[in-house]
């Protein structure tokens, strides 16, 4: 049923291909195996009637609320947040990470695994990425360095998008040794340090490094992560996709402030993660002649995301009222919702093996800010920014609700409700889950190992691949 749009978003062909979609991934995450016993114990305590998607959205709700507490006390990311708020944010992120890890387990436990589970999980993660990155910046008072804060937050969004870009190209989601689970626990550690020692800890100078603060370590880690992940992503993209003609598939002893260390560390990690994703993209897709799964160009997904990042930077630099510097949290959230919408459309394009459209209705929000600046209207940019935020948030919710409704109607399922399970069937599901070697934390459907690119002539044998990590490379 069409409650939000005059026409359906997904065509019958897209819905058919979505129903045939199989999740494929590979992982080498360091923390996932260590956390597996905790996730197994936790899911065993979850009521059998609780729907997997409801678990996911509850975790996202906790993550958003705890981050908004930080935003309330420090909307400019300069004011010192209460220690309890930092601790609450650490707990909220841990709760989200844990619930995000068991939704797929609950789906297999109840026999309710569907492609909608994967799509819903990735959609929630795209929103969580924005709030997690913003909370880390507020915890270390990065508002005093607006350009760094801009880089940190948009780096997180870009890495998430690149991870799904390479999935669109190669048909398989790939996780490195240092990936989103490690990033989440790093940010949890940052919040705990702020809670124990106070946010002022990040302004202390590091011995023997003049002017270097501890908060800059976040930037260092971001650079490292970006380098580690972008190379493999773009190597896959530029090698060609799986579609036709290479198209897609549709510190002590170191006299500098302590905050510099986490800043540079985060930058470093982000760069490593970005390089990892780009190496996959540059290697080519699984479509004919190295195209994407949709048979489109492997480079085509860069255009929609550029319409998000480029206007965000231009508006930030050209603002006469310094709207970003004065209201960084609201600014990041506004453009973050646009990035989440575009990323969700990329995930839908991948799962339905369909071409991704370049323009999006959410871009009307940034266009308001741009036109207000260009024509020098009398309306204050702060008010226009609020209008932008309201528009893009409602647009994201409208799109997500419509897509979920169409998929639920097609698969004849409910989003937040599962059928009553027969005790005998439940016993069989639990036995199958116990003997199954695959324990994918995020995806509520069968998993197959990623196929080797450029080996169509060889017989492919799909094996279940163990993976418990999250579904993207997240900036610190």
- In sequence order, the 6+-apart residues with CB closer than 8 A to the CB of 191 are 86, 87, 89, 90, 93, 135, 136, 139
pLDDT tens digits along 391-431: 999 999 999 999 999 999 998 888 888 876 665 555 555 55
Task: Determine the pLDDT at residue 447.
Answer: 45
Helices (H), 319-380: 323-326, 328-351, 364-374
Q: Is residue 46 part of a domain?
A: yes
Within-domain flag for 298: yes
Average pLDDT over residues 220-235: 58
On whether residue 443 sits in a domain, the answer given is no
**Region of poorest pLDDT, from 67-81, 264-278, 350-364, 367-381:** 264-278
> Angle at CA 218, nearest 5°, toward 189 and 324?
115
Q: How many C-alpha atoms does 7 have within 13 Å on its Cβ side?
A: 4
Residue 376 domain-assigned (yes or no) = yes
Measured CA to CA, the distance from residue 473 to residue 435 in angstroms comes to: 29
Q: What is the pLDDT of residue 262?
A: 57
Place of tokens 């930030």: 316
- The order of strands in the sheet holding 447-449 is 173-175, 23-27, 447-449
69/152 Cα distance (integer angstroms): 20
What's the token pair of residue 315? 């508006």
Average pLDDT for 185-213: 79
pLDDT band at 448 (very low <50, low <70, confident <90, very high): very low
Q: Indicate the average pLDDT of the chain.
A: 78
122 is annotated as an active-site residue: yes
Residue 261 maps to a domain: yes
Name the nearest CA neighbour of 250 among 143, 355, 127. Answer: 355
52-56, 83-87, 378-382: the lowest-pLDDT one? 378-382
Task: Give the integer Cα–Cα distance in Å for 438 and 433.
Answer: 9
> pTM for the full model?
0.80
Provide the percentage of residues in the chain whose pLDDT is more than 70: 67
Neighbouring residues of 295: CB distance < 8 A, sequence distance ≥ 6: 241, 243, 244, 247, 248, 249, 250, 287, 288
The total of other beta-carbon atoms located within 10 Å of residue 385's CB is 25
Chain centroid offset of residue 83 CA: 27
Please indicate whether residue 341 or residue 3 has the higher confidence score (pLDDT).
341
Would you say 385 and 327 are in contact if contact means Cβ atoms under 8 Å apart? yes
Report the interhelical angle of 83-110 vs 52-73 (nearest 10°).
Answer: 170
**Rounded CA separation 55/40 (Å):** 15
For residue 283, the SS3 value is strand
Lowest-pLDDT choice from 106-110, 290-294, 379-383: 290-294
Confidence of residue 199 (pLDDT cuts 50, 70, 90): confident
Using one digit for the tens of pLDDT, what is the confidence trace for 305-339?
999 999 999 999 988 899 999 999 999 999 999 99
Confidence of residue 200 (pLDDT cuts 50, 70, 90): confident
Paired sense of beta strands 256-257 and 205-206, if any: antiparallel
Between residues 234 and 435, the one the model is more confident about: 234
Least confident of 123-127, 225-229, 320-324, 464-468: 464-468
- Please say whether the beta carbons of 98 and 41 come within 8 A: no
Whether the CB-CB separation of 418 and 97 falls below 8 Å is answered with no
Distance of CA 22 to the CA centre of its chain: 20
- Give the span between the Cα atoms of 353 and 201, in whole angstroms: 49
Examine the pLDDT at 443 and tell me if it is beyond 50: no
Whether residue 429 lies inside any domain: the answer is: no
Q: Residue 198 has what pLDDT?
A: 87
pLDDT tops 80 at residue 243: no
Q: How many CA atoms lie less than 13 Å away from 98 in the CB half-sphere?
A: 18
Both tokens of 290, joined, read 């190295």
Count of domains for the chain: 1
Domain assignment present for 423: no
Contact by Cβ (8 Å): 86, 426: no
Give the domain range for residue 169: 12-412
Total residues found in the chain within this entry: 476
Lowest mean pLDDT among 2-6, 65-69, 313-317: 2-6
| 239 class by beta-carbon count within 10 Å (0-12 exposed, 13-18 middle, 19+ buried) | buried
Catalytic site residue from 122, 327, 350, 468: 122
Q: How confident is the model at residue 279 (pLDDT cuts 50, 70, 90)?
A: low
Mean local confidence (pLDDT), 16-20: 89
Report how far residue 51's alpha carbon sits from residue 434's, in angstroms, rounded to the nearest whole number. 20
d(CA 353, CA 340): 19
Tens-digit pLDDT profile for residues 152-193: 899 899 989 988 888 888 877 877 777 788 889 999 999 999
b/e 13-24 (16+ beta carbons within 10 angstroms → b): ebbebbeebebb
Sorting pLDDT into bands at 50, 70 and 90, what band is 472? very low
Q: Is the pLDDT score of 29 beyond 90?
A: no
| pLDDT value at 344 more than 80 | yes
Is 470 part of any domain? Answer: no
> Predicted confidence band at 24 (pLDDT cuts at 50, 70, 90)?
confident
CA dist 430 and 168 (Å) reads: 33
Over 60: is that where the pLDDT of 238 sits? no
pLDDT band at 442 (very low <50, low <70, confident <90, very high): very low
């Amino acid at each position: 049923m069409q409650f939000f749009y005059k026409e359906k978003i997904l065509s019958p062909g897209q819905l058919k291909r979505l129903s045939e979609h199989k999740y494929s991934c590979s992982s080498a995450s360091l923390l996932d195996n260590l956390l597996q016993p905790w996730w197994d114990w936790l899911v065993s305590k979850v009521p059998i009637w609780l729907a997997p998607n409801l678990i996911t959205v509850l975790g996202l709700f906790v993550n958003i609320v705890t981050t908004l507490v930080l935003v309330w006390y420090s909307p400019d990311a300069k004011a010192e947040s209460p220690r309890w708020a930092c601790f609450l944010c650490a707990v909220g992120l841990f709760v989200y990470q844990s619930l995000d890890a068991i939704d797929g387990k609950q789906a297999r436990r109840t026999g309710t695994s569907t492609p909608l589970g994967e799509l819903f999980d990735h959609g929630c993660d795209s929103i969580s990425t924005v709030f997690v990155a913003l909370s880390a910046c507020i915890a270390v008072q990065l508002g005093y360095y607006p350009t760094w804060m801009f880089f940190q937050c948009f780096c997180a969004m870009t890495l998430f998008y690149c991870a799904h870009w390479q999935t669109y190209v190669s048909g398989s989601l790939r996780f490195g040794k240092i990936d989103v689970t490690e990033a989440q626990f790093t940010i949890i550690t940052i919040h705990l340090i702020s809670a124990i020692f106070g946010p002022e800890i990040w302004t202390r100078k590091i011995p023997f490094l003049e002017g270097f603060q501890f908060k800059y370590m976040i930037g260092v880690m971001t650079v490292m992560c970006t380098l580690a992940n972008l190379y493999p992503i773009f190597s896959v993209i530029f090698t060609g996709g799986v579609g036709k003609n290479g198209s897609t598939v549709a510190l002590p002893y170191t006299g500098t402030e302590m905050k510099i260390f986490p800043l540079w560390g985060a930058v470093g990690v982000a760069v490593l993660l970005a390089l990892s994703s780009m190496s996959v993209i540059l290697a080519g897709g699984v479509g004919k002649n190295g195209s994407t799964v949709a048979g489109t160009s492997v480079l085509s997904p860069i255009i929609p995301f550029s319409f998000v990042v480029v206007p965000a930077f231009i508006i930030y630099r050209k603002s006469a009222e310094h709207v970003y510097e004065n209201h960084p949290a609201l600014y990041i959230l506004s453009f973050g919702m646009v990035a989440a919408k575009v990323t969700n459309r990329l995930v839908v394009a991948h799962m339905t093996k369909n071409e991704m459209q370049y323009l999006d209705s959410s871009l009307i929000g940034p266009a308001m800010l741009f036109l207000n600046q260009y024509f020098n209207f009398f309306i204050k940019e702060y008010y226009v920014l609020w209008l932008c935020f309201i528009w893009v948030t409602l647009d994201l919710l409208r799109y997500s609700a419509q897509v979920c409704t169409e998929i639920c109607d097609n698969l004849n399922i409910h989003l937040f409700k599962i059928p009553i399970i027969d005790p005998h069937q439940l016993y069989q599901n639990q036995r199958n889950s116990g003997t199954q070697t695959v324990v994918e934390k995020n995806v509520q459907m069968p998993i197959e190992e990623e196929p080797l690119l450029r080996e169509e002539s060889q017989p492919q044998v799909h094996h279940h691949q163990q993976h418990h990590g999250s579904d993207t490379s997240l900036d610190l």
